[in-house]
Structure 1
């Protein structure tokens, strides 16, 4: 992973379930890591120069699933369950699609 994994663990290892939905500390760390991971998808132009490809929302969402799986593998099972369910609840309250079903 290109991103600072210690930042994700610090932000999401022990999330404050009361404040996470407002402050989005863990969610922002996950989004940043997903964008970093998605940005690895580079293309070469006709001259062989590397350039960033347009990254679709679908690709970033797929990368978020990868980051969430990685996070779940690094946390104690009870802590992972608490963190991921807390994140899912934030998404439900915002009306956003839930991608955490891949982990539970």
Structure 2
């Protein structure tokens, strides 16, 4: 049964078609072709629970459902730490535009 998940990083969203039986590693390999980042430099976090997803488990094992939002963070250049989750929501954008004196649209 096909499903979609939304992978978000900063201002970018990737929509991936996948199957509940796919592992997180499978998802990272799909992402690798899109973002040109090695699988080992990616970390996926289920936004609703803030849980880091385990490469060896399937989407179903970790209760990732259709249309789930998953945050993507990448390994920092100089060490083994990952960057913080940074997802820009549309309302943040509109609020910042209003603060700058932008028009309401």
TM-score by length of 1: 0.28
TM-score by length of 2: 0.28
